[in-house]
Amino acid sequence: MRAVQFVGWTIVMCGGFIMGGCLSVAKETPSPPSCPNDLRFAFITCTAEAPFFLPVKQGMRDAAEAMGVRCDFMGTVGVDVQAQAEMVRQAVEAGYDGIAVNIIDPVAFDPVIWQAVERGVPVVGFNVDDNNSPNARLSSVNQRLAEAGRKLARHVLPFIPNGAHVLITMHDEGVSALEDRLRGIQEVLSEKDIRSTVIISGLDSETGAAVIAEALNVHPDIRGILGTGQSDTEAAGKAIEAGFSGKGYWSAGFDLSPKTLQLIQDGYIRCTVDQQPYIQGFYPVIQLTQYIRYGIIPSDIDAGAAIIDQSNVVQVLELSKRRYR
């Protein structure tokens, strides 16, 4: 609890970090109501039951306890932007005082977010932001996605020969975060004329491992696999472990899961990039509370792009068990 209080006071005293390229229309939003204490916030996302969101939920709960507010975490089963946008509208009608939205599409959420703001309900983003077009959300807590893709690619670039062929995986289509990471990865790979084949592996890592194994058999010249999300990164490691161990194959990707961390320990995944989902749940609660109670305008926070490999995986594995990483 002491750590939670420290983080909470840090945001009060120091504010947030600016995220380049994000557009804010905070000056056009209505004035916040005066100092209510009984506040209720909704977190709305896609794939709400995905393991990735366990630390997000933990951060949300810790911040809610620290600030004395209530929070509900909800979302769609898969990726359905229209259904998720409708949940934002329903949250406004249900009387939530503030909303945090995973803005996985740069256009689909614009109308409902604007409608929420016009009704006096502040909205912040988390996990994925709409940073390419105007949006009425006040701020976002998320990774700088294209830059994170570039960071991963630069980390593994020394291990990829000029002109090589690599496999790049995405667990779903239509998720701007994965597309942004993909773009960043491909920008760096082009420096060595590296060719890439992109596949959709699916949200389930067991099924994804089979899809990836099939792709490796179809393309026998591929040795490296680069993931763009959690389930496909885990799936790549599982595929190598099950059928390609000891044959010069390697993988790297994004996000944490207990299995991904184990696969790093065992050498099947070279590294993963952590976007610190705990703070993506924690800081939106702080921002919404401070905005409504005191009129403190939220600012964007970069959730980071930390490289996790065999040098630090043991420490991160322990924190993952406690849902902080």
Residue 133 is predicted with a pLDDT of 76
Query: Which among 214, 203, 221, 265 has a CA at the least distance from the CA of 242?
Result: 214
Compute CA distances 11 → 42, 48, 261, 296, 300, whole Å. 20, 26, 30, 11, 12
* pLDDT of res. 35: 53
Amino acid 321: pLDDT: 86
Alpha-carbon distance of 227 to 240, in angstroms, equals: 13
Nearest alpha carbon to residue 278 among 10, 54, 47, 49: 54
My answer on whether 182 and 63 are in the same domain is no
- Domain identity same for 151 and 132: no
Residue 223 in contact with residue 248, Cβ under 8 Å?
yes
Q: If you search the block for the tokens 């997000």, which residue do you land on?
A: 56
CB atoms within 10 A of CB 36: 11
* Structural domains of the chain, count: 2
CA angle 207, 77, 180 (to 5 degrees): 75
For CA atoms 239, 261, 202, 179, the dihedral sign is negative
110 and 151 housed in the same domain: no
Closest-CA residue to 129 (of 104, 150, 99, 100):
104
The pLDDT score that the predictor gives to residue 26 is 39
Domain final residue pick, 274, 294, 315: 274
Q: Give the pLDDT confidence score for residue 177 in this predicted structure.
A: 87
Please list the ranges in the chain whose pLDDT falls under 70.
Answer: 1-37
CA 82 to CA 76: how far, in whole Å?
10
pLDDT in the model for residue 134? 82
Domain boundary among 237, 254, 274: 274
Angle 102-108-110 from CA coordinates, rounded to 5°: 85
CATH code: domain of residue 243: 3.40.50.2300
Instruction: Indicate whether 200 belongs to any domain.
Output: yes
Does residue 150 sit within a domain?
A: yes
76, 102, 135 from 106: Cα distances, Å: 18, 11, 9
pLDDT, tens digit, 9 for 90 and up, residues 109-129: 999 999 999 999 999 999 999
Q: Which pLDDT score is estimated for 28?
A: 46
In angstroms, the CA 37 to CA 92 distance is 18
Same domain, 138 and 149: no
Round to whole Å and give the CA distance between 224 and 216.
10
Give the domain extent around 261.
145-274
**Which pLDDT does position 36 carry in this prediction?**
60
Q: What is the model's pLDDT at position 175?
A: 84
Residue 100: predicted pLDDT = 98
Residue 117 and residue 29 in one domain = yes
Cβ burial 231-252 (10 Å sphere, 16+ → b, else e)? bbbbbbbbbbbeebeeeebbbb
